[in-house]
Amino acid sequence: MNLRRDVFQAIADPTRRNILILLATQSMTAGIIASNFETARPTVSKHLQILTECELLRQEQQGREIYYHLNAEKMKEIADFLEPFRKLWDDRFNKLEQVMKNYQSKK
C-alpha cells in the first residue's frame, strides 16, 4: 500500500529541511548530499525518498548518477499556504509596535 506522503510532515524533519536548503542553489547527487550530514548514507537516502515522494525534489539521471533538484513549484505551494499566516503575524507585530511607541511617548 503506497500512501501519499504529506509535504508538511516531510518538512517537519530538520534533516529534510537542511537537504532542501542544500539543494536550493544547485542540484547534487545523493553521495554529495550525504557528505553534508553525520548520519549514515542509507538514512539520507530515506530522507531523499520521502522528499521525492512529496514532490519537493525531482530526480534527473545524468549518466550513471542521479541528481536531485529542488522542485520550486511545490515549494511555492508551501509558501502560498503560509502567506496568510505571515500577514496575520505581520499585522500583530505592527499593532504591538504601535502600542509600544504610544506607551513610550506617554512616559
Report mean pLDDT in 10-residue bins for the chain, 107 residues. 71 96 96 95 96 96 96 90 89 87 83
Per-residue model confidence (pLDDT) at position 2: 43
Determine the Cα–Cα distance for residues 4 and 97; give it in Å rounded to an integer: 43
At 4 the pLDDT is: 60
Q: Is 84 exposed, middle or buried (0-12, 13-18, 19+ CB in 10 A)?
A: exposed
Position 63 scores a pLDDT of: 95
Phi/psi at 16 (nearest 5 deg)?
Answer: -65, -35
- E strand or H helix at 21: helix 14-22
Place of cell 520550486: 72
pTM of the complete model: 0.76
Q: What is the dihedral of CA 8, 61, 32, 68, to 10 degrees?
A: -20
Nearest to 54 by CA among 87, 16, 21: 16
